[in-house]
Every structure is written in structure tokens, then in C-alpha cells.
A = this chain, B = another copy of it.
Amino acid sequence: MNSSTRATLGVRQAQKLKTRQALLDAALKLLEEQSLSSLGLREVTRVVGVAPAAFYRHFRDMAELGVALVEESLGSLHVMIRAVLAEQQEAEEVIDRSVEAVADHVRRHPAHVRFVARERHGGVRAVREAIAAELARFGDEVAAALAAQEVSRGWSAEDVRMLAGLYVDHLVMTASAFVEASAEEPEEERVIADTARRQLRLISLGRRHWRAA
């Protein structure tokens, strides 16, 4: 392969990725108003301006596109969670920081958060399973971080994982509440954040008084 062929391939590959991303973006936009199980392939390709058949060069079917959207949606959340977990601060500050991080994440990726909240129990099994698997991975990651902390000494692995699950569920609930909050009522967002902080504080109190059974 000479260098000009390689350059052509590089351009083609870049173009292919660009179209793939355009399909994902168009689908995500359309999914603000409907659910994945009712989204038609032609609706998506029409928005992007490619032939319907072009869809299959990128995804086997709409479920596969949905799974790619799950990865996109939860990938960025993952980065955010890891940053919060890495902080070495007092519990109170970690709580404030994580609620702020969730609010910020929802502000920057509202469509992704809505997509996950909606399709978590949606009509497409492959997507439901991908979301469940990603959230389980979060749980494992949070558990690993919690296990390393002094306050977890003497805890069974099961108990640490149980606590991690509670934190992940709380995060999902808080993100869902933020995304449902109307943009016209900033007060609503403040109440959600305040409630989330108190709840995390209560959970962290329960954690400190937990005696392994």
C-alpha cells in the first residue's frame, strides 16, 4: 500500500466515522420525542441525508444503534464518577461535589440522560441489558473505591457492593429528577440538589454506624 492509498483509506475511514456519529446524533435527537422501539431507520437516515441502506454500513439494526448510544451516554458519566471517587476530601465535601457533578452532567447531556432513564425499562431488550450491564459496572467500580476507604474496614464484600448499589441507584434517581425538572423553574433544581445532599448525608451516617452482620 503506498502512502496515497493509505491517505485515501484514512479519509474514507474518517468519513465513515463522521456518518456514524451523525446517525447517532440524529437518533438521539429524535428520541427526545419518542422511544427507541418506535423509531424508524428511515427517519434517522432522512435527517442525516443518506440512503436508508447506508444505515447498515454502521449498525446491524436499531437495537445496535441503541447500544452504541448507551455506551456514549454512560461513558461520559463514567468519567465524571471516577473523578468524584478519586477525590480525597471530607465526606461532606464529596457529597456536595458529587451532587454538583450530577447536576452539571445533566445540564450538559440532557438528551443522553433522558435516553438512559427512558430505555432502562424500554421496549428493546438489547438496550435494557446494555444499560443494566453498564450500571452494574459502575456499581463494581464504586464498590472498589469504597472498599479502599478506612470506614469500610471489616465490611464483607457483599455489604460494600450493596452500599455501592445504593449510591448508583441514588445517582440514577437524582439524574432522572434533574432531567425532568423544568428549565423554567430553577427553584425546582435547587430543591432536588438539596434533597439529594441530605439523602447522601443520611446514607453516609448509616454507613458509619453499620455493623457487619
Footprint of B on A, CB under 8 Å?
A: 33-35, 37-38, 114, 117-118, 120-123, 128, 132, 159, 162-163, 165-166, 169-170, 172-173, 176, 179-180, 195, 198-199, 202-210
Contacts and interface: CB of A to CB of B under 8 A. Distances in A.
Name the prevailing secondary structure of the A interface residues: helix
A141 B210 CA distance: 28
When all copies of this chain in the complex are counted, the total is 2
Contact of A165 (B37, B179, B199): B199
A199 B35 contact: no
Given A33-B123, A180-B121, A202 B199 contact: no
Contacts of A210: 202, 205
A128 B35 contact: no
A210 B209 CA distance: 11
Contacts of A179: 121
